[in-house]
């Protein structure tokens, strides 16, 4: 499920773009060799791992309204200087569709992150399916609707300012905090899921949220930063730190021993199948990679059986 097709098609050459961005960064004089550590609760380690101190956000719920077999509420919360908007969908009555996912009268919750240019409303097709399986979802309107500008973010990083892509990870972590305090949701069974670019942020957020139970990554991949850095023969430590900090591949080891699940179409027209395979190869067990044959990018109905199976490994 994607929006602006032309913009998303850039993923086909993401490795080349990453190398180009690194080279441009060097030419722009971004060789700030100091150890860049911003204040206000965030940092990036020498290995390029993002770290956050996550606080419970102030939030408001509007609703709920009945939407078929679910209730739907609007969510507003403050996150890193911005008001975020989301939709909270809860099965009604909770847990009766997928009784195997219930626990002490509570159900699992999923932070659901759409692909770039996709609104929370357009993501509700997948959210409704997940509700039919017995999962509550909090779907976000991400900053810039999930679109990323690595060059601009790197410049912010070099100036010791918080990059937007880092804030987008924090937004997902804050959304998990909100899910955990909902009476019907089991706070110990929070899962991250995302499509395309949203899948990238979901992977990073899951890695940083040690209490989460796993991640479902649909039609996505990492960027292959380490290979790109080697090809460009880059040696500037801060530039490498930044690019590693926004690459899901950097965080895969931190997900273990929780399940890491990828679902990808062999005919994906935006993110090539081979890029998804590369990321999967880098991940540690327990992991799964399911292949479908639909001809669209993002969630398609061919993925339903695999989604149900993989989520159950995280929720039970």
pLDDT in tens, the chain (316 residues): 444 444 444 444 444 445 445 443 433 333 333 334 445 789 999 999 999 999 999 999 999 999 989 999 999 999 999 999 999 999 987 544 345 556 678 999 999 999 999 999 999 999 999 999 999 999 999 999 999 999 999 999 999 999 999 999 999 999 999 999 999 999 999 999 999 999 999 999 999 999 999 999 999 999 999 999 999 999 999 999 999 999 999 999 999 999 999 999 999 999 999 999 999 999 999 999 999 999 999 999 999 999 999 999 999 8
Number of domains in the chain: 1
Would strands 82-91 and 59-67 be described as parallel, antiparallel, or unpaired?
unpaired
- 15: containing domain: 5-30+39-315
- Position 87 scores a pLDDT of 98
- Position 39 scores a pLDDT of 54
- Position 105 scores a pLDDT of 80
- Position 18 scores a pLDDT of 53
End-to-end CA distance of the chain: 28
- Position 11 scores a pLDDT of 46
- Position 103 scores a pLDDT of 67
Distance set, CA 184 to CA 88, 91, 139, 170 (Å): 12, 10, 17, 24
Cα–Cα distance measured from residue 117 to residue 301, given in angstroms and rounded to the nearest whole number? 21
Give yes or no for a contact between 243 and 229, defined as CB atoms under 8 angstroms apart.
Answer: yes
- Position 101 scores a pLDDT of 59
Distance set, CA 186 to CA 102, 195, 227, 282, 315 (Å): 9, 24, 40, 31, 10
Give yes or no for a contact between 303 and 292, defined as CB atoms under 8 angstroms apart.
Answer: yes
3 state SS of 203: helix
Domain of residue 311, CATH code: 3.40.50.1820
Strand segments (E) across the chain: 42-44, 50-52, 59-67, 70-79, 82-91, 107-113, 136-141, 185-195, 215-218, 260-265, 287-292
- Position 92 scores a pLDDT of 84
- Position 20 scores a pLDDT of 45
């Amino acid at each position: 499920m994607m929006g602006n097709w032309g913009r998303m098609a850039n993923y086909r050459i993401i490795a080349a773009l990453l190398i180009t961005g690194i080279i441009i960064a060097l030419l722009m004089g971004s060789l700030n060799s100091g150890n860049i550590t911003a204040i206000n609760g965030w940092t990036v380690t020498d290995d390029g791992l993002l770290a956050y101190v996550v606080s419970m956000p102030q939030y408001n719920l509007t609703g709920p309204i009945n939407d078929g077999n679910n209730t739907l509420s609007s969510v507003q919360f403050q996150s890193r200087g911005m008001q975020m908007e989301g939709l909270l969908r809860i099965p009604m009555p909770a847990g009766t569709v997928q009784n195997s996912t219930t626990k002490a009268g509570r159900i699992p919750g999923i932070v659901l992150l759409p692909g770039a240019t996709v609104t929370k409303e357009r993501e509700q097709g997948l959210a409704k399916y997940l509700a039919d399986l017995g999962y509550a979802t909090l779907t976000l309107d991400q900053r810039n609707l999930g679109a990323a500008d690595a060059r601009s973010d790197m410049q912010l990083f070099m100036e010791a300012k918080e990059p937007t892509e880092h804030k987008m990870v924090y937004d997902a972590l804050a959304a998990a905090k909100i899910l955990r305090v909902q009476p019907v949701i089991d706070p110990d069974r929070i899962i991250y899921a995302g499509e395309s670019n949203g899948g990238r942020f979901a992977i990073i957020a899951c890695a940083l949220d040690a209490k989460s139970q796993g991640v479902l990554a649909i039609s996505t991949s990492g960027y292959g930063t380490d290979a790109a850095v080697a090809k460009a023969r880059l040696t500037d430590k801060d530039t490498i730190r930044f690019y590693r900090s926004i690459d899901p591949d950097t965080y895969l080891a931190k997900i273990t021993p929780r399940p890491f699940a990828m679902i990808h179409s062999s005919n994906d027209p935006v993110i090539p199948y081979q890029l998804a395979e590369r990321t999967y190869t880098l991940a540690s067990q327990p992991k799964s990679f399911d292949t479908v044959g639909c001809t669209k990018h993002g969630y398609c109905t061919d993925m339903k059986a695999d989604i149900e199976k993989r989520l159950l490994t995280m929720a039970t």
